[in-house]
Amino acid sequence: MRLAAPFGSLIDRDAPVTFTFEGRTYQGFAGDTVASALAANDVWLISRSFKYHRPRGVLTMSGDDGNTMVQVGQEPNGLADILPIHDGLAVMGQHYSGSLVADRDRWIEKFSSFLPVGFYYRAFFKPKGIWNFWEKLVRAKAGLGRVDTSTPHGYYDKAYAFADVAVIGGGVAGMAAALEAAKADVEVVLVERQPMLGGSLNYTRIDVEGTSGPALVQELLGQLRAAKNITVMTEATCTGWFTDNFLPIVVANRMVKLRAGQVIVATGAVEQPAVFRNNDLPGIMLGSAAQRLIRIYGVKPGQRAVVACYGGTGYGVALDLLDAGVEVAAIVDLSATPTDNPRRQAAVDRGIEVLQGYGLREANARRDGAHLAGVVAAPITGNGELADEQRAIECDLLCMSTGWTPAASLVAHAAGEVSYAERSGSFMVRAVAKNMQVAGAVSGEWVVDAAIEEGRQAGAAASGQDANPVPVPRAPDDRPPQPWAIFPHEKGKEFVDFDEDLTVADIRNSVAEGFGDIELVKRFSTVVMGPSQGRVSALNALRLVQSHAGRPLEGARGTTNRPPVTPEKFGHLSGRGFEPVRLTAMHDRHVEADAEMTVAGAWIRPAYYGADREQALQDEVMCVRNNVGLIDVSTLGGLDVRGPDAAEFLDRVYTLSYARQQVGRARYVLMCDQSGTITDDGVACRFSDDNFYVTTTTGGSDAVYRTMLLWNAQWRLDVDITNLTGGLAAVNIAGPNARAVMEKICSEVDLSAEAFPYMGVRLARVADIAARLLRVGFVGELGYEIHAPAGMGEALWDALMDAGAEFGIKPFGVEAQRILRLEKGHIIITQDTDGLTHPHEANMAWALSRRKPFYFGRRAIAAQMKRGLTRKLVGFTLAEPDGPLPEESHLVVRDGEITGRVTSIVRSPTLNRPIGLAFVAPDQSETGQSFSIKGHGGRMIEALVAPVPFYDPENSRQEM
């Protein structure tokens, strides 16, 4: 039922909203949450519990519990108590079979004695294989909500923000902190997870009349509006603290990453439930939840209420209930003696019966089991003990104002110290990290004026002002310890953790099993591991563990608190889901030419051109062998090494010798790491005495560049290294007609074999584009690599295709290139080598200089060779050329032992037979020796070691 204004500060009664729950249509108002709107329609059963399928409803109304988890379309586990409604919203309960009201899985609770704590660990452990029997049932019954794997990726994004001072929590302490910090002319961000500032003063009653709280909020809001340098974020949740005050702030579908110089944590406190039999029935909620329903949402939380409390706050709840037209049957005050509090007197004056020194024995359910029908109270005779005499009170609402625990997650993330204090009967922040302050209820300050003063001081300190501290009035320390609101019952069902349906007995049994530490109990029993992450269970769980284990409570810590504070969606973490790729300058030309594109490291490259792969590869390979082809090789790395020590530098980095390399010549480069493993290759082109242009493999340029920079930071050679990769486009024109095509568009240099021989390099303009020309031959034909500025890549491509048109030039892709190079026996680093391949294994001893005292890997290669070769890379053909082909990574097997593996294999279009490279044992590596490859289905395929190159062994074609 709705209450008249001024109750319902957040709802807009002029804006009705229609939504459905469990298929039925309901009406609420703009500003309502799913739970508040349902409560206004007298619907209190919202969800079912995880283990026993018990009916659950509103507990905190602040998103701090997991009792109201609902499914909204494809999205599971929404929290109905904070999920705003909008027109057309379709909400379903979770975790039931059939219907929420008549859940067919309610029988599970009857078997609760067969589901002891640690059930999973015991039940499915023995005998071997029993899990296979149970798995189907468990998988069907366990888990929260339904995941729909066809859910599309919604729009989520990220933003970055910076602040000198970030204040987390917009209650009065946080507001005061922000206002004070802002006086120092620094940038302040105030983050509040609710739609409005004011924190607990939006619903708590701090005086008899209930007026001073709202007035105080209005005053502070006025000051905030006047402050220029405070950015206020509402409906914004700070979900964690990360090093150096890096704070994720979730706002709708955005994650703001806020970097703050100082953080003031003013996150308040979370009210704690009492533990007694059937304490989870719908209708039993925190006092603050009832007040939120009344004041924020204008909802009457019940007809006849009982309030359980320790003095103060609960009497405010009782007065609010009376004002809202709720009959208050009794106040069960757990304190042994009355407190001197005006609100208590007002409640008594208004005729409410107070049961002083009473506790709660149990709650009773309505006939249908789905709502509270009454409670049984009894005098407290000791901690957790009740007298036999008892009072049964009919009620449909029980408000629990039975203590608070600081919402200190952020403090804990920052490695501050949070531990139990007997003085407050709760957790207490005892130390905070550098560049962090706490203020208000999170630091244990419950008195409003004192919380404001504490906020003010925190704001001053965080903004570097002279704090000018006024002593903060503290609650007196002489208060006797209050009895716990934990009342074990002989029939159980006193829930400590609602998420996991864990009772007092479960915690006790965990300790009895030998798990005497809260961290161990957590892992064994799953206490505080559920969706509410201990916010409403950690305090009582720690009390029980420590008392059963006979350990002191004072100074005891809860379980380690890790981000996120409240659930984040995967969408928030992934953001817009960028998957950056690199496109070459000629990308559009490839697409226009119907190229099938493939991923090569960070790049997208043409695999082949046309629809028919087999035909395309055949045509592309034969065109290069017999005519002329063009391939985009922009993905190769290009590094400029310049300076008097350039040659000396390359000598240290690469295995060959570069000091005497002639200007205008290219030389192969092979890089190893310090353990002798081959890591990269390319060519070094000497364009002047002090300038080399060095190419790297696709994907290798960044690593090679970093390695070069790292070592020259130590060697201090007079050399500059520049990574040109992204700035250059490159093509390789190859085939017997390559020179004829080039001569049409490059007249500056004499392209004849005599003037510009194989392994020559030139600077020249091609089609009027300034370029580096490299006569190198990865594919084994007469060819030129042309490296030009990326901005001219497309023009260069077009010019070559135009010039080659009369010859029938064809573009070829990376797959044809891989075939062509294999025909020549050229290895691809990381395909034909692995993380242990040293040059001798790959037949590259010829590339190791004997004259240099150092190159990467030199010392390690020497050490390895003392131990002899253990494998060797060889070329091979198949004994049955028309038989089945093994695949790359298929094993070479001899007498049941693995001696190697296939690294490359292809049916050569040029030679019309299978050719490949494989690692084999050294004693199977002689030409003509046969070895066996274990192919598909275990079929052994006989291979013969063959000399490489397979094609043009004299290398005459590339030197034409």
User: Residue numbers of the site for other proteins (CB under 8 A)?
Assistant: 242-244, 246, 257, 259, 652, 655, 657, 674-675, 705-706, 709-710, 713-718, 723, 839-840, 845-854, 858-863, 865-866
Integer angstrom CA distances of residue 166 from 157, 237, 417, 452:
21, 13, 20, 17
Which residues face 120 on adjacent strands?
Answer: none
Indicate if the alpha-carbon torsion angle 286, 290, 291, 292 is positive or negative. Answer: positive
573 vs 568: CA distance, rounded Å = 7
Q: For residue 592, what is the enclosing H or E element?
A: helix 587-592
CB closer to other proteins, 9 vs 849: 849
Q: Respond yes or no on whether the N-terminal peptide bond of residue 949 is cis (omega within 30° of 0).
A: yes
428 vs 422: CA distance, rounded Å = 9
CB closer to other proteins, 582 vs 852: 852
Q: How far is the CB of 412 from other proteins (least distance, A)?
A: 17
Give residues with Cβ within 8 angstroms of 115, minimum separation 6: 51, 108
CB closer to other proteins, 240 vs 374: 240
The per-residue DSSP string of 764-821 comes to EEETTEEEEEE---TTSSSEEEEEEEGGGHHHHHHHHHHHHGGGT-EE--HHHHHHHH
695 vs 666: CA distance, rounded Å = 10
587 vs 598: CA distance, rounded Å = 12
51 vs 233: CA distance, rounded Å = 38
Q: Respond yes or no on whether the N-terminal peptide bond of residue 6 is cis (omega within 30° of 0).
A: yes
DSSP helix/strand/coil, 708:
helix
Give residues with Cβ within 8 angstroms of 294, minimum separation 6: 3, 7, 203, 300, 301, 320, 321, 323, 324
CB closer to other proteins, 102 vs 709: 709
CB closer to other proteins, 116 vs 563: 563
313 backbone dihedrals φ, ψ, rounded to 5°: -55, -40
CB closer to other proteins, 374 vs 839: 839
657 vs 641: CA distance, rounded Å = 15
Place of tokens 């269970």: 537
CB closer to other proteins, 261 vs 516: 261
Q: How far is the CB of 634 from other proteins (least distance, A)?
A: 21
Q: How far is the CB of 269 from other proteins (least distance, A)?
A: 29
Q: How far is the CB of 600 from other proteins (least distance, A)?
A: 21
Place of tokens 């010798």: 657
Place of tokens 């108002």: 29
61 vs 293: CA distance, rounded Å = 8
What burial class does residue 569 get, using C-beta atoms within 10 Å of its C-beta: 0-12 exposed, 13-18 middle, 19+ buried? middle
241 vs 565: CA distance, rounded Å = 9
Q: How far is the CB of 414 from other proteins (least distance, A)?
A: 13
Q: How far is the CB of 721 from other proteins (least distance, A)?
A: 8
CB closer to other proteins, 47 vs 712: 712
CB closer to other proteins, 128 vs 851: 851
CB closer to other proteins, 599 vs 862: 862
DSSP helix/strand/coil, 426:
strand
Q: How far is the CB of 644 from other proteins (least distance, A)?
A: 11
CB closer to other proteins, 131 vs 162: 162
